[in-house]
Amino acid sequence: MRFNLVLDLPDVPGQLLEALEPMGRLGANIVAVIHQRDVKTERGTVPVQITIEGDKETLDRVMDAMETKDIQIMAVDGVLRKEQITTVLVGDIVEEDVKDTVTLLNQLEGVRVADLDLKMSDEPRNSATKIVMEADFGQKKEVLKNIKEVGNQKGFLVINEV
Concatenate the DSSP letters of all residues of the chain into one string: -EEEEEEEE-SSTTHHHHHHHHHHHHT-EEEEEEE-TT---TTS-EEEEEEEE--HHHHHHHHHHHHHTT-EEEEETTEESEEEEEEEEES-TTTT-HHHHHHHHHTSTTEEEEEEEEE--SSGGG-EEEEEEEEETT-HHHHHHHHHHHHHHHT-EEEE--
The model's pTM:
0.57
Residue with the larger pLDDT of the pair 154 and 97: 154
How high is the pLDDT of residue 59?
Answer: 93
pLDDT at 48: 94
| pLDDT at position 138 | 67
For residues 160 and 28, give the distance between their C-alpha atoms in angstroms, rounded to a whole number. 41
Superfamily in which the 2-79 domain is placed by CATH: ACT domain (3.30.70.260)
Q: Look over the chain and give the mean of its residue pLDDT values, rounded to a whole number.
A: 88
Q: Of all residues in the chain, what percent carry a pLDDT higher than 70?
A: 96
Same fold, 2-79 and 82-160: yes
Task: Give me the residue spans of the domains in the chain.
Answer: 2-79, 82-160
Residue 162 scores a pLDDT above 60: no
Q: Among 1.10.10.10, 3.50.30.60, 3.30.1330.30, 3.30.70.260, what is the CATH number of 82-160?
A: 3.30.70.260
Residue 101 CA, chain-centre distance (Å), reads: 17
Neighbours of 8 (CB within 10 A): 20
Write out pLDDT tens, residues 7-58.
989 899 999 999 999 999 999 999 999 998 888 776 678 899 999 999 999 9
